[in-house]
Amino acid sequence: MPTPTVGSEFSFELLVCRWAELDWRPTEAGGGDASGASADGTPVIVSRQLGTQRRRWDTIVIECDPAGFAARRSFGDRAIDGDLLPIVRHAPAEWAYYRDALPDPGYPWRYVREAIHRAASRGLVDERKSGNRIEIRRKRPYPDWVERIVAVENKPDLDASAAAALSDQLEHDVETALADEVWLATGRTGDRVEPALLRQFPVEAGVLTFDFGTADGVGVGADAATVDWLPSELEVGAPSDQFDAEEKARRRRLIAERAYGKGWRSITETMRPDCRKFEVARAGRGVVPVCGAKGRCQTESECGSRCDSFEPEPPQWRTKGWPIEGGPGQGVRTLLERRRERARDR
Ligand code: SF4
């Protein structure tokens, strides 16, 4: 099996996500307790490549209210999307005509009716017909389960052009203040002053430097990060140039829901674990995908249906348990799925 390397932003990003799961939240004194909860016991959900149309963050950490998070779990493992969320949040305790119970959507009500059918089929609300009218009732209150949203931008190599582009992105994050905190994660150089501190980044953004190298190779552990600069808390409740306070709260709920449903191991849905060259390699306390054809960690964009080296798993690999359990590709999917479930369960 090829040795994993963290040469790409993609593999760096996966290891940062795993580290966040092990050790959130970073302080100058140290981090969490390696149990998927922060040092004060706050449950955390880690996800990647989420945000708004204009801005997509590399890593997202959702710090959750413990009781609210337990209540959110009762709505299932899937994200509640933007069409369903107003219905789930505003469905009344007693049966009511849906137009009386829900806020004006700002688009035709027939789309709301479709969303109600979808919410009811997922068991999120109750629905019934009363004459010609559709009535709804909540099954349980939707909780306020999100305490804080933290955005992390990953850039393992911080050369001058990368730093200039990043500076604009971080400025945008600080101005919109959709996240409570913004961090830059970069590779540690060992210089007396890390280059990230010499760049023109907004002072509100924190800086984390990572060393994923170990004596045995590459790896992630709870102690992989150093805090070089602590971030400032942003004003998420205040309106910004882009969004009023209500729209900001709506977007934050959607980001949190998508993070909850997706996690960060959803690479099994975007890469090709069914390729015979797809392997996973241990990297300290994490695993990263490795391509046997390329001899390194492949990127997410390389490992798709257009890859010239793609070869489907031979059927004989699957004979044990096939087609119920599948071959190694299905095994990788199952492994990462199980880990995603465990992260939610903690
Ligand atoms: S699809 Fe391509 S990049 Fe992905 S594992 Fe197969 S050969 Fe490697």
Q: Is 277 in the pocket of ligand 1 (CB under 6 A)?
A: yes
Q: Is 52 in the pocket of ligand 1 (CB under 6 A)?
A: no
Q: Which atom of ligand 1 is nearest to the CA of 289?
A: 5
DSSP 280-300: EEEEBTEEEEEETTTTBPPPT
Give the model's pLDDT for residue 1.
Answer: 52
Domain locations in the chain? 17-71+145-259, 78-138, 267-345
Give, for ligand 1, the residue of 310, 311, 332 to mutate: max count of ligand atoms closer than 8 Å to Cβ: 310
**What separation in Å is there between the alpha carbon of 308 and the centre of ligand 1?**
8
Give the model's pLDDT for residue 26.
Answer: 87
DSSP 161-230: HHHHHHHHHHHHHHHH--SSEEEEEEE----SS-HHHHS---TTSEEEEE--EETTEE-B-TT-EEEEEP
Q: Is 275 in the pocket of ligand 1 (CB under 6 A)?
A: yes
Give the model's pLDDT for residue 53.
Answer: 79
How far is the C-alpha of 292 from the C-alpha of 290, rounded, in Å?
A: 6
**What separation in Å is there between the alpha carbon of 276 and the centre of ligand 1?**
8
Q: Whose CA is nearest to atom 8 of ligand 1?
A: 291
Give, for ligand 1, the residue of 299, 309, 332, 333 to mutate: max count of ligand atoms closer than 8 Å to Cβ: 309
Looking up tokens 């203040």 gives 177
Pairing mode, if any, of strands 181-187 and 206-210? parallel
- CATH number of 78-138: 1.10.10, 1.10.8, 1.10.357, 1.20.1740? 1.10.10
* Residues in CB range of 333: below 8 A, 6 or more apart: 268, 273, 326
Quickly count helices (H) and strands (E) in the chain.
Answer: 10, 13
pLDDT in tens, 16-73: 999 999 989 887 765 444 455 565 678 999 999 998 878 899 999 999 999 999 999 9
Give the model's pLDDT for residue 33.
Answer: 47
Q: Which atom of ligand 1 is nearest to the CA of 307?
A: 2
Q: Whose CA is nearest to atom 6 of ligand 1?
A: 310
Q: Which of the residues in the chain have pLDDT under 70?
A: 1-7, 29-40, 193-194, 214-218, 316-332, 335, 341-346
* Residues in CB range of 125: below 8 A, 6 or more apart: 87, 88, 91, 116, 119, 136, 137, 138, 139
**113: phi then psi, degrees, rounded to nearest 5:** -60, -45
Give the model's pLDDT for residue 261.
Answer: 95
**What separation in Å is there between the alpha carbon of 298 and the centre of ligand 1?**
7
The C-alpha R_g of the chain, in whole angstroms, comes to 22
Quick one: tokens of 96? 């009511």
Q: Is the omega angle on the peptide bond into residue 86 within 30 degrees of 0, that is, cis?
A: no
Give, for ligand 1, the residue of 294, 297, 308 to mutate: max count of ligand atoms closer than 8 Å to Cβ: 294
pLDDT in tens, 298-332: 998 999 989 999 998 877 666 655 545 555 666 66
